[in-house]
Structure 1
């Protein structure tokens, strides 16, 4: 049997640290009330999609977002939410909780870039992830190899666990994770673009390959 499925890749709803524009990797703040409402709206947009499997990271913000989405679904099948560390947000080390603007300004300056936009224009995602680890005074932040290594474990589990063709799989995860997955399988999208909270990106898996169908909608 050929493995084929649609992967609905969704960023979690807005959290308080998102609202305050602070770095949030393994740190985990609750969804704001607006974040809950927008997640529910995404659920309504996907209400007609019969999901066969559901995955999230092991962070509370992705689990709650998945629950809000599934509450709106027209095919309530009491699906188990598979929580996986593989899909946890990138770890930002000692930058966790710092203002994002401060962190990116530091990383840009240390790598001879005027600002964040120039950083992403001049360097690929792998470079930027490696800069985080280099710039972190403790060097605890994840680099690209560490991050992609666990993402790949998670994606391989999703593929190998396929029981039937034409499945619809929901994966609620994080901005950096989504950006890296999309960039891995497509060169068409702006790698510096902000991934919107509760946005939907769709990938189709067929013939042992992922293809990006839509991004950040």
Structure 2
């Protein structure tokens, strides 16, 4: 969620495209299935909670949808909710691609705010910026207009007395590193044909990934659990295309 701001050392979309070495590349990016914390509206970054029964149905649905596709590589956040989602999808693939579980693809770290009611955290952000809590929605929009959406998340970090919560800039750079790693690994595969890569991550962090590649994606986009977002890079080009955003698989 970089609000169009470019961090020092952050790569431009065309620089990330160059790691594909001219090959066509399609990224299927999946948000993890619904968890207990999602259902209970708790802050869930690096903390975790079990997948719900509805979430398991979501995994089965998205696995069925993606089972018709061939993937050359797969990458997932190493947190249990993403690992469980990825493993459900991989079980439906034949052949299963080489898979890496990595901390690079984790959600934003919310520090001491982890597992707190989201409404309480946002209320503190609103008060910190001098607004009344009973004007929550309009206040958040006004704050976002003043300091950007990255400013909202930086306020969460500033209110974290443990010092563990990530600033927006750190998350942007982690998204940059994750994409370099994924695209480079794909571009290094033998051959010159089109490449297909599966990525399983988290709602907020997927938005950070998308804005590295397709900056016109708005930072307040909300991706449903187990939705599929598709980004493609045509062969011998450096311009990424957003082919699908937060698409949900039909139930069987």
TM-score by length of 1: 0.90
Secondary structure, aligned partner of 2:29: strand
- What residue ranges of structure 1 are gaps of 5+ in the alignment? none
What residue number does 1:94 align with? 112
Q: Give distance in 2, aligned partners of 1:189 and 1:158.
A: 20
- 5 Å-filtered alignment, 1:119-134, equals 119-120=140-141, 121-122=144-145, 123-134=147-158
| 1:161 correspondence with 2:181 | no
Secondary structure, aligned partner of 1:115: helix
The 1:117–1:57 alpha-carbon spacing in structure 2 relative to 1, beyond 3 Å, is farther
What residue number does 1:198 align with? 226
Secondary structure, aligned partner of 2:182: helix
| 1:210 correspondence with 2:240 | yes
Secondary structure, aligned partner of 2:86: helix
Q: Give distance in 2, aligned partners of 1:62 and 1:117.
A: 33
Aligned counterpart for 2:100 among listed residues 46, 62, 82:
82
Q: Give distance in 2, aligned partners of 1:112 and 1:4.
A: 49
- What residue ranges of structure 2 are gaps of 5+ in the alignment? 1-20, 248-252
Q: Deviations over 1:13-53 (max 9, x none)?
A: 01111111101111111211110111110111222111111
What residue number does 1:33 align with? 53
Q: Give distance in 1, aligned partners of 2:217 and 2:172.
A: 19
C-alpha contact 2:48 2:80 (8 A) present in aligned 1: yes
Q: Give distance in 2, aligned partners of 1:112 and 1:47.
A: 50
Which stretch shows the higher mean deviation, 182-191 or 160-169?
A: 182-191
What residue number does 1:111 align with? 129
The 1:154–1:165 alpha-carbon spacing in structure 2 relative to 1, beyond 3 Å, is farther
Task: Give the count of matched residue pairs.
Answer: 215
Aligned counterpart for 1:137 among listed residues 161, 167, 171:
161
Per-residue deviation, 1:181 = 2.0
C-alpha contact 2:23 2:195 (8 A) present in aligned 1: no
What residue number does 2:63 align with? 43
Q: Deviations over 1:118-153 (max 9, x none)?
A: 425524332222122112233321001211222211
C-alpha contact 1:8 1:171 (8 A) present in aligned 2: yes
Which stretch shows the higher mean deviation, 119-128 or 8-17?
A: 119-128
TM-score by length of 2: 0.78
